[in-house]
Structure 1
Amino acid sequence: MKIGLHYANFTHPDWESTLEDRLTESVRVADQGGISLVTVMDHWFQMENLGGPSEPMLEGYTTLGYLAGITEQVRLSLLVTGTTYRYPGLLAKTVTTVDRLSRGRAMLGIGAAWYDREHLGLGVPFPSMSERFERLEETLQICRQMRSEDDGPYAGQHYRLEETVCVPPPVRGRVPVLIGGSGERKTLRLVAQYADACNLFGETAEVLAHKLDVLRGHCDAVGRDYDEIEKTVIGAGTASGAESRDEFLRRMEEYAALGVELVTLVPTGDDPVAWTHDLVENVAPALADL
């Protein structure tokens, strides 16, 4: 099993003067220590459960562009882009730019968006949930077309593009797509139809087994090979939290038996650099054997 590092919290002691250094060093440790994926959030305001808008938050794609320049191996993505945050054509161009500058290490992590406060706070339209999912599907279609040989128009219900041009193209001809969320009727259907990877919440093995069965059913319905899709999980905790390291590893064994290939962990405590060192030295080797 592989590990992802999700750098979600910038509020550490003296963050006003150390935020950039802590982020830089944590990600360098992850890159040199064999972590498979580094992600940051796509938010303008910090989430309420991490302190809300008064706490620091960096813009996601600017951050990925910076991380592309200081890393060599790790994949880079937002977890996840909100479909309402950017026009789809501009999003495809932005992600492709990160891919070029990272020499082919970008992923497009995307979802339907949910944080209404930051939309209202900064004057960005926040449509209904049903419309957000409609826009998400059109965004996925546009991004797919912009990485193809078809640079002609796209006409959808919400977006109309006259030219789907994206030059230079992604390094490997395409940027892999990860769709975040566990919704059974819409989200997992979109995973089956458009994504290279899913990202589910780290719940019990029984809940994950059910979600993956739902995904398999959607794959069957659209004629997709279920095994083509990388199964990833976020929010699974760490051995430094409430559960012991042995309990954490037992839970990861259950995940691996279900076909989960990557677990993304969020640094905890006041020192993300030390946390990341512990991750690569003590957790990653044990998970690599699963």
Structure 2
Amino acid sequence: MKVGLVIGDYTWDGGPARMADTLVEIAQTADDTGFSIVGVGDHLWQGAHYGGPEAPFLESFTALTMIAANTRRCRVAPVMAGVNFRHPSLLAKMVTSLDVLSGGRAMLGIGVGWDETEAQGLGIPYPSLTERFERLEETVQICLRMWEGDRGDERPFDGKHYRLERALNLPQSITRPRPPIMIAGGGEKKTLRLVARYADACNLYPGPELPAKLDVLRGHCEAEGRDYDAIEKTCIFPFDMGEGVNADALVEMLNGLGQAGVQTAIGILAGPDPVRQVELIGKRVIPAVADA
């Protein structure tokens, strides 16, 4: 079992003047203690679960660049890039640039997005769920085109929602054949089918329905002619360590997820002392689940 983290809360001591220092300290501590992924949520407003729109939130790719510059081992990723925020060719270029600048450690986490209030408030288009799924598939197709070969697949792309005259992408990513793609969500008819068709990793929530979700993914893989075992199974949920008192319970939970087939657990990091939380997880949890 591998353990990653995603920064979901920026309400830190010192406010904006110390955000850069705190972000770097979190990232370096996570990198040094064995976290496999250091990611950030992709929002422009904070969600209701961590204080709502009046709470601070950093733009994801700007934060990821800072993280990449101050780590050497972990993967760096948006968790998860909302499909409505960026044109696919721009997203592919941003992930490519992150991969180059991180020495080949970028991962594209992507999903259909969920915060309509945020989009409406800032004047960002937020199509219907059906259309966002269509755009998600075309976005992944365009990213794959732009990561093809040494220059990208330079043929035109003519989709329902996007059209590219030339999918040229230079420099190409260091990660070859391309940065890995993680598609978020457990929808059985659409999301997991897209995972089977395109993705290198799924991203689910823990719970009693998890084994059934993985069975559905296995079935989609069979239908798509895809090797189920080639897809990394990840779960995401808040890690509540307290002052270490919850470490044993978290270890037990992660061991159970490992037995269910999960390979990477991604903890949502929150609270006023994030560096301490990362240190505790690195010391008490990561070594204990390494063989799960």
Q: Aligned partners of 2:97, 2:235: CA distance in 1, in Å?
A: 26
Q: Which moved more, 1:238-247 or 1:121-130?
A: 238-247
Partner of 1:221 in structure 2?
223
Letter in 1 for 2:283: E
* 8 Å Cα contact 1:179-1:199 kept in structure 2: yes
Q: Is 2:170 the partner of 1:167?
A: yes
Q: Aligned partners of 1:170, 1:16: CA distance in 2, in Å?
A: 32
Q: Aligned partners of 1:236, 1:213: CA distance in 2, in Å?
A: 24
Letter in 2 for 1:118: E
* 8 Å Cα contact 2:29-2:275 kept in structure 1: yes
Residues 148 and 37 from structure 1, CA distance in 2 versus in 1: closer, same or farther, beyond 3 angstroms? same
C-alpha displacement of 1:195: 0.2
Query: Which structure 2 segments of 5+ residues have no match?
Result: none
**Structure 1 vs Structure 2: percent identity of aligned residues?**
45
Partner of 1:245 in structure 2?
247
* 8 Å Cα contact 1:201-1:236 kept in structure 2: no
Partner of 2:25 in structure 1?
25
Q: Is 2:8 the partner of 1:2?
A: no
Q: Which moved more, 1:246-255 or 1:82-91?
A: 246-255
* 8 Å Cα contact 1:107-1:176 kept in structure 2: yes
Give the counterpart of 2:273 among 265, 271, 274.
Answer: 271
Partner of 1:201 in structure 2?
205
Q: Aligned partners of 2:247, 2:59: CA distance in 1, in Å?
A: 33
Partner of 1:35 in structure 2?
35
Partner of 1:91 in structure 2?
91
C-alpha displacement of 1:57: 0.7
Q: Aligned partners of 1:81, 1:16: CA distance in 2, in Å?
A: 23
Give the counterpart of 2:161 among 158, 163, 173.
Answer: 158
Q: Which moved more, 1:243-252 or 1:16-25?
A: 243-252
Q: Is 2:180 the partner of 1:180?
A: no
Aligned length in residues? 288
Q: Aligned partners of 1:25, 1:237: CA distance in 2, in Å?
A: 18
Letter in 2 for 1:256: G
Q: Is 2:112 the partner of 1:109?
A: no
SS in 2 for 1:114: coil
Relative to the length of structure 1, the TM-score reads 0.95
Q: Aligned partners of 2:166, 2:214: CA distance in 1, in Å?
A: 37
Q: Aligned partners of 2:271, 2:90: CA distance in 1, in Å?
A: 36
SS in 1 for 2:262: coil
* 8 Å Cα contact 2:186-2:203 kept in structure 1: yes
C-alpha displacement of 1:236: 5.3
Letter in 1 for 2:163: R
SS in 2 for 1:52: coil
C-alpha displacement of 1:287: 1.2
Q: Aligned partners of 1:241, 1:209: CA distance in 2, in Å?
A: 31
Residues 241 and 207 from structure 1, CA distance in 2 versus in 1: closer, same or farther, beyond 3 angstroms? farther
SS in 2 for 1:179: strand
Query: Which structure 1 segments of 5+ residues have no match?
Result: none
Partner of 1:234 in structure 2?
236
SS in 1 for 2:209: helix
C-alpha displacement of 1:239: 4.2
Q: Aligned partners of 2:251, 2:38: CA distance in 1, in Å?
A: 21
* 8 Å Cα contact 2:78-2:108 kept in structure 1: yes
C-alpha displacement of 1:199: 0.7
Q: Aligned partners of 1:41, 1:260: CA distance in 2, in Å?
A: 21
Superposition CA RMSD, Å: 1.5
* 8 Å Cα contact 1:236-1:263 kept in structure 2: no
Partner of 2:291 in structure 1?
289
Q: Aligned partners of 2:28, 2:117: CA distance in 1, in Å?
A: 33
* 8 Å Cα contact 1:111-1:181 kept in structure 2: yes
1:53-93 Cα offsets, whole Å, 9 max, x none, are: 11111111111112111111110000000011000011100
Relative to the length of structure 2, the TM-score reads 0.95
